[in-house]
Amino acid sequence: MADSKAAGGFIGNLGKIYGGYAGGFIVFTLILAVLEQMGVPNKIIGYCFVILTIGVYAYIGILSRTMDLSEYYVAGRKVPALYNGMATGADWMSAASFISMAGGIYLGGFNALGYVLGWTGGYVLVGILLAPYLRKFGQFTVPDFLGTRYEGNGARLCGVIVLFCASFTYIVAQCFGIGIITSRFLGIPFEVAIFVGLLGILVCSMLGGMRAVTWTQVAQYIILIISYMVPVVWLSTKDYGIPIPQLTYGQALQEIAQFEAKLGVTKHFTDAFTNAQGQFTWTEFNNFWALVLCLMIGTASLPHILMRYFTTPSVREARTSVAWSIFFIFLLYFTAPAYAAFAKLEVYQNVIGQPIAQLPAWVQNWSQVGGLLTIKDANSDGILQLSEFVINQDIIVLSMPEIAGLPYVVSGLVAAGGLAAALSTADGLLLAIANALSHDVYYKMIDPKASTARRLLVARGLLVGVAIIAAAVAGTRPSGIIQMVAWAFSLAAAGLFAPLVLGIWWKRTTKIGAITGMMSGFAVCLFYLVMTRYAPETFKDMFGTNLWWGIRNISSALFGLPVAFVVTWVVSLMTPEPSKEMQDFVDSIRVPRGVVAGAA
């Protein structure tokens, strides 16, 4: 893989290579299962999963090292649609999807399905509005497109600012997830665990850039999808005799409803738009659609996803690749509600109503990870009541195998999957940030004469720097994973969606229009987020209320988006029409074949 000839052989044999790899991973898991039965302690099994999988990623990362710019930034533009789909899947599914989403559904019931909808439907927008056209444009980064379409470094810099804020928020959440897993399975303190995980991120991306990240992400997708399926398929088979949890959890939902009646739960799992008391409210209704909208638009605005479509060999492959991406993502997302339902059923069956003194060891183990699980005998009867069992959404997926009494090897497997999800997304994000800073800021704006070696050196230095800062911020535990990720989506949506879409679909969009639109939309979104989250009470009172129409700040883009579109539209009409050359340029990116005018 070190030279281009060998890389050709590598591309040709992808099926064999990854097929063998998946088989090897399954054999490895089975060996550990046997070892567990022979009495090897849990701790060793946890170590094996975490260390061996990171070792494999590091190996791929080192094999894919490169000193070629096109390889470093866009994997040489030869990633076939299917594999780009898998890599996008891993890039996409982060700690939030893998670790927290099913937990969110477990706690929130129907209302949390907004995440399931919002994190899939956005690909329709990517496919019809953006991916093929960005691929035709064919440069290295998303700000590259803004800088070319809106003629100059002003738009480019605005793009970099939005990209940085959104991606950095996102990556902090991933570091947090990596910290939880490594802390629990290696048995080290959370703050140390974050930096151990950081090494795992850096070995994948530092030497090989996009090329290394692409091929590790394919490997990570395979691990994460296997490990997500195993516990649910197991429970589905155990409870209902059919290994297709996505079909059988209807029965689990019915059993949950019976337990809810028995335990006196007023907020039913499947009831839509209910508040904590189980009553329908318009606030929940509005927050649901607002969240779905923000997540979907955010999907179509996040640079680490959009830049994956720069790596396919053609425009046609970019489109096909979007379809593969959503298919691979769909596999996990339509399983997540099943995961939540089975977890809920297990808790009702095996945990609630048990004598607290007899609870198994997992309770003890998880209670030690930063207060994410608490059990308090409030009425001192020695029996665990529903209200005495408080579990954080970020550990439900990871602890479910133990709750259900599955062998520990399944827990190790799920941990490896969660780690794959968090690492792959962190890598993609890190690369998006470092590429924007090194390519757009350093090369395009500061030193256009920089040599290739110097550009790659700067890119790698920035990569390490950003990673360390992100890990340090994550160490302060700023918020829950899923909230931080949702903020990232809102920031990206408010700042980038309007200039990207209008830049392709409305020729009249002008440079000034796009810049003012981008900045005002982003500012409104950021203002709402910061004000509702961090502002002191007196400041909040100046605006009369904390939340505008009860919309939570995870959907801040709801206010930023319309502002971005309206400002772009009005200012564009007030400023002179873009030049003939620019309009020809827009025409040229709309058609798959033909020269792109204006792109050097």
Partner 1 sequence: MAEKLNAAQMQRYWTRTSRLMWSIFVLWIFFSFVVPLFAVQLNTIIIAGFPLGFYMAAQGSLIAFVVLCVWNAVAQNKIDEEFGVHED
> Is residue 273 close enough to count as binding partner 1 by CB under 8 A?
yes
> Is residue 259 close enough to count as binding partner 1 by CB under 8 A?
no
SS3 390: strand
Q: Are 309 and 321 in contact (CB under 8 A)?
A: yes
Length of the chain: 600
Contacts of 247 (CB under 8 A, 6+ apart): none
C-alpha span between 600 and 597 (Å, rounded): 8
Phi, psi (5° rounding) for residue 300?
A: -80, 10
C-alpha span between 190 and 171 (Å, rounded): 17
| CB half-sphere exposure, 568, CA atoms < 13 A | 31
Structure tokens at 87: 């890599």
**Looking at beta carbons only, is 176 or 328 nearer to partner 1?**
328
Structure tokens at 236: 């589905």
271 to 103, 278, 289, 343, 385: CA distances (angstroms):
17, 8, 16, 18, 23
Rg, C-alpha atoms of the chain: 24
SS3 84: helix
Q: Tell me how far the alpha carbon of residue 47 is from its chain's centroid.
A: 25
**Looking at beta carbons only, is 454 or 507 nearer to partner 1?**
507
Q: Among 56, 142, 322, 488, indicate the residue that binds partner 1 (CB under 8 A).
A: 322
> Is residue 450 close enough to count as binding partner 1 by CB under 8 A?
no
**Looking at beta carbons only, is 105 or 302 nearer to partner 1?**
105
The region of 138-146, 174-182, 221-229, 310-318 touching partner 1 under the rule CB under 8 A is 310-318
The region of 313-321, 359-367, 405-413, 515-523 touching partner 1 under the rule CB under 8 A is 313-321
The region of 109-117, 410-418, 488-496, 567-575 touching partner 1 under the rule CB under 8 A is 109-117
> Is residue 561 close enough to count as binding partner 1 by CB under 8 A?
no
**Looking at beta carbons only, is 203 or 558 nearer to partner 1?**
558
Give the residue carrying structure tokens 């399931």.
116
> Is residue 30 close enough to count as binding partner 1 by CB under 8 A?
no
The region of 63-71, 141-149, 324-332, 555-563 touching partner 1 under the rule CB under 8 A is 324-332
SS3 219: helix
DSSP string for 539-575: HHHHTSSSSGGG--GGGTHHHHHHHHHHHHHHHHHHS
115-174 residues in contact with partner 1 (CB under 8 A) are 116-117, 120-121, 123-125, 127-129, 132
C-alpha span between 222 and 233 (Å, rounded): 16
Minimum Å distance from CB 132 to partner 1? Answer: 7
**Looking at beta carbons only, is 28 or 273 nearer to partner 1?**
273
Give the residue carrying structure tokens 């099926």.
15
Q: Are 484 and 478 in contact (CB under 8 A)?
A: yes
**Looking at beta carbons only, is 252 or 363 nearer to partner 1?**
252
> Is residue 282 close enough to count as binding partner 1 by CB under 8 A?
no
| CB contact burial 136-165 (16+ within 10 A = b; e otherwise) | bbebbbbbbbbbbbbbebbbbbbbbbbbbb
> Is residue 386 close enough to count as binding partner 1 by CB under 8 A?
no
Q: Among 70, 153, 270, 354, indicate the residue that binds partner 1 (CB under 8 A).
A: 270
Minimum Å distance from CB 322 to partner 1? Answer: 6
Minimum Å distance from CB 473 to partner 1? Answer: 33
Q: Among 34, 244, 272, 457, indicate the residue that binds partner 1 (CB under 8 A).
A: 272
C-alpha span between 589 and 571 (Å, rounded): 24
> Is residue 315 close enough to count as binding partner 1 by CB under 8 A?
yes
Minimum Å distance from CB 414 to partner 1? Answer: 21
> Is residue 562 close enough to count as binding partner 1 by CB under 8 A?
no
**Looking at beta carbons only, is 276 or 453 nearer to partner 1?**
276
Q: Are 533 and 559 in contact (CB under 8 A)?
A: no
Structure tokens at 300: 């179509």
Minimum Å distance from CB 87 to partner 1? Answer: 17
Q: Are 324 and 92 in contact (CB under 8 A)?
A: no
> Is residue 593 close enough to count as binding partner 1 by CB under 8 A?
yes
> Is residue 237 close enough to count as binding partner 1 by CB under 8 A?
no
**Looking at beta carbons only, is 320 or 532 nearer to partner 1?**
320
Minimum Å distance from CB 248 to partner 1? Answer: 8
The 8-class DSSP code of residue 594 comes to S
Minimum Å distance from CB 256 to partner 1? Answer: 10
Q: Among 326, 343, 363, 456, indicate the residue that binds partner 1 (CB under 8 A).
A: 326
**Looking at beta carbons only, is 110 or 228 nearer to partner 1?**
110
**Looking at beta carbons only, is 81 or 218 nearer to partner 1?**
81
DSSP string for 180-234: HHHHHHHT--HHHHHHHHHHHHHHHHTTTHHHHHHHHHHHHHHHHHHHHHHHHHH
**Amino acid (one-letter) located at 52:** L
**Looking at beta carbons only, is 326 or 502 nearer to partner 1?**
326
> Is residue 285 close enough to count as binding partner 1 by CB under 8 A?
yes
Minimum Å distance from CB 235 to partner 1? Answer: 15
**Looking at beta carbons only, is 100 or 183 nearer to partner 1?**
100
What dihedral do alpha carbons 454, 455, 457, 463 form, nearest 10°?
A: 160
Phi, psi (5° rounding) for residue 543?
A: -95, 10
Q: Among 2, 242, 261, 591, indicate the residue that binds partner 1 (CB under 8 A).
A: 591
122 to 20, 376, 440, 484: CA distances (angstroms):
33, 41, 26, 18
> Is residue 11 close enough to count as binding partner 1 by CB under 8 A?
no
Query: Exposed, middle or buried: residue 54 (CB in 10 Å: 0-12, 13-18, 19+)?
Result: buried
Binding mask 35-64 for partner 1 (x = CB under 8 A): ------------------------------
Structure tokens at 369: 């990870």
Phi, psi (5° rounding) for residue 389?
A: -110, 105
Minimum Å distance from CB 551 to partner 1? Answer: 16
In 10 A of CB 55, how many CB atoms?
12
**Looking at beta carbons only, is 153 or 246 nearer to partner 1?**
246
Q: Are 412 and 46 in contact (CB under 8 A)?
A: yes
User: How many residues belong to the site for partner 1 (CB under 8 A)?
Assistant: 52
> Is residue 252 close enough to count as binding partner 1 by CB under 8 A?
yes
Q: Among 8, 189, 250, 360, indicate the residue that binds partner 1 (CB under 8 A).
A: 250
In 10 A of CB 39, how many CB atoms?
6
- Residues of this chain that bind partner 1 (CB under 8 A): 110, 113, 116-117, 120-121, 123-125, 127-129, 132, 246-247, 249-254, 270-273, 280, 285, 288-289, 292-293, 296, 314-316, 319-320, 322-323, 326-327, 330, 333-334, 337, 587, 590-595
